[in-house]
Structure 1
Amino acid sequence: MLQDQLLIFDKWQKEFINEKKVLNMSKSTIMNYSNVLNRFYDYYGNYEDRLKFYEIDRSFVLSFISSLGNIKENTKNLYITVIKSFFTYVSKYNQKGIDFKDRFLDLKAKVQKSDPEYLSNEEYDILVKYLASVVKPKSFLQYRNRLILKILLFTGIRASELLGIKMEDIVLMKEEDVYKIKILGKGNKIRFVYISTDAIENEFLFIKDYITNYIAETSKGRVMARSELYIMIEKLFKRLGIKKSGVHLLRHTFGKKMVQKNINLSTIKELMGHENIQTTMIYARSDENNMITAIRLL
């Protein structure tokens, strides 16, 4: 019986992951989904009490989460989210009329919210000064890297979104003196971000002669891996004496800068591609300097 149930599990898992690929989800997302379900599959196969696939319930999932040991709440939430998404898919397409949704309705891990890390004003100025300096000698990699960094820092897009930008997605709006960039965001939603012509014109025009399709191409014509993007930024930060890390740091810095410039939160939400304005609100939390400034205005 167990072998039959494992075959059922395997069938649904393959179909579920295949759907994610068809929907053009990022490779990292698909890998995360696969890793979670592979561990869940192994746990199911070794579970002492024989349980039919369609009998999997809340207590079984909690038992699996508990077996993972002392992991972070965010990691627990990832596992729960993937498993719930998987069984939502099974509920939708199984021919037996079995609905798992009610079984996992209140299943979630508590996530402790923390303020995002971003560049200090001093670190931001150091990075901007570097990006404004003259490139000598003229090098494809230096121009490409600067273009990538400027777009990340001055538009706040995600790393996965940056890696998906094609040369044709960047269009000059002469009257506005900005470049309009087409972004394919989460859930394949298209949005547009903008960056001043002066900010990237030199880099953009230079790499046109080297790039065949994507702006984040290597000298061999393939798109950079996310890990390569991370390493590139890490090396630069170390060189500039910035003791912080992560590509997402630039996105958080953009969000914080927009708030400091009193940009409307709804506008920031649209630019950053947030589904919920509550996500945007994390950049609006007051710090000590803001509170002191407010008091002085009384």
Structure 2
Amino acid sequence: MLAEINNYWQMFYNEQNAKQLTKNSLMTYNRIYEYFYQYLADSVDNKQISAINDINNATLVDYINKLNLANTSKQLHITVIKQFLWFIADNDIQKHGILKNKVTGVTLKKIDKPVDAFTEIEQQKIKSLIQELDKTNGLKNNRLSLILKLLLFHGVRISELCNLTWDDVSIEYDDTHGEVYKFNYFGKGQKVRDLDFPVLFVQSNMDIIRAKIPSQYVVPSLSGNASTRENIYTTVKIHLNKNGITDVYLHKFRHTFGQNQVNNGVNITTITELMGHSNPNVTFKFYLRGNKKAKRSAVIDGIK
């Protein structure tokens, strides 16, 4: 099913591209599909869905209500996903025509919940996995280690990770931190993202990948092409599941990175820039809601 829906998405995406949509619009379509694909992959694993025709209004309601997004963004997801599913129905009426009647209307529920981030225990498991991967010289292990580091400690979006090239990376010297890799690339909305990473933390991973896979991409596929979100998601999910982390989706790493900055007391302006948000209001909305540990410390530490 997942391979079939990926094929349909490529056809749908090509059709949108032929309509000469803006680059930003096409990037938005791909980001929405990334969310939806990961939801479907989890649903297949949990045996909730086994075929495209199993998708219905209840599926979309469950998918939408699990998104940690504002209602306006959820509405955009509904619009794009319904457009995509109707495309599938029109493309093969005999096989999937039933979809049009099964995805007609979706009601949004207002949900105000904390950002869905990895717990401290889960983060420690991921860090331990990275340490184990770094003990080897194997290509696949070092590639996975670099992916996990960029996701957990960089807050990179998966679309940005897949398209990150060596032209986006340079080395600078910092009096405090020594040599650092400077990642400078265009993120969501063509917003320039300018982030640093200590050279020693990832140099071995990057050297091994570059030596064994000649490619313009920092995290290429094993064939040297740009990695796909599906490949990265599958690889990460398999290894995290083996380490006892079952609730996995790639954007959760980004949520974790943002929430960690808040918990560490980083100021709002810096967090906004690190996350590549369009303005501080976005950061406030999703990350500055407080948490049990922070609220408890605020009271108890004030008594001391």
Q: TM-score by structure 2 length?
A: 0.66
Indicate the residue corresponding to 1:139 in structure 2: 138
Distance 1:152 1:20 in 2: 29
Identity of aligned residues (%): 26
1:72 to 51, 61, 77: 61
Distance 1:217 1:16, change over 3 A: closer
Whether 1:264 aligns to 2:262 is: no
CA deviation vs aligned residue, 1:184-243 (integer Å, no higher than 9, x gap)? 211222221111222211111222212311122122122221111111110111121112
User: Which structure has the larger Rg over C-alpha atoms?
Assistant: 1
Indicate the residue corresponding to 1:104 in structure 2: none
Distance 1:188 1:194 in 2: 19
Distance 1:201 1:238 in 2: 27
SS in 1 for 2:185: strand
Distance 1:255 1:31 in 2: 20
SS in 2 for 1:180: strand
CA contact (8 A) 2:31 2:159 kept: no
Distance 2:251 2:21 in 1: 23
Whether 1:227 aligns to 2:223 is: no
- Gapped runs of 5+ residues in structure 1? 1-13, 33-67, 84-107
Whether 1:182 aligns to 2:196 is: no
CA contact (8 A) 2:133 2:141 kept: no
Whether 1:216 aligns to 2:216 is: no
Quote the offset at 1:278 in angstroms. 2.5
1:237 to 226, 234, 240: 240
Distance 1:79 1:289 in 2: 33
Q: What aligned pairs does 1:68-147 form with structure 2 within 5 A after superposition?
A: 69=57, 71-72=60-61, 74=64, 77-78=75-76, 111-133=110-132, 135=134, 137-147=136-146
Quote the offset at 1:251 in angstroms. 0.6
Distance 1:214 1:270 in 2: 24
Distance 1:31 1:114 in 2: 20
Indicate the residue corresponding to 2:12 in structure 1: none
CA deviation vs aligned residue, 1:231-290 (integer Å, no higher than 9, x gap)? 111011112111221001111111111111111111111111111322212222222221
SS in 1 for 2:156: coil
CA contact (8 A) 2:152 2:253 kept: yes
Quote the offset at 1:111 in angstroms. 4.5
- Gapped runs of 5+ residues in structure 2? 1-14, 34-55, 66-73, 82-106
Residue identity opposite 2:183 in structure 1: I
CA contact (8 A) 2:187 2:276 kept: yes
Distance 1:161 1:297, change over 3 A: same
Q: For this pair of structures, how many residues does the alignment match?
A: 228
Distance 1:137 1:294 in 2: 43
Quote the offset at 1:79 in angstroms. 5.8
Residue identity opposite 1:29 in structure 2: N
Distance 2:23 2:292 in 1: 47
Distance 1:177 1:79, change over 3 A: closer
Indicate the residue corresponding to 1:207 in structure 2: 209
Whether 1:149 aligns to 2:138 is: no
CA contact (8 A) 1:77 1:111 kept: no
Q: What aligned pairs does 1:19-30 form with structure 2 within 5 A after superposition?
A: 19-20=20-21, 25-26=26-27, 28-29=29-30
Residue identity opposite 1:78 in structure 2: L
Distance 1:272 1:290 in 2: 21
SS in 1 for 2:20: helix
SS in 1 for 2:26: coil
Q: TM-score by structure 1 length?
A: 0.67
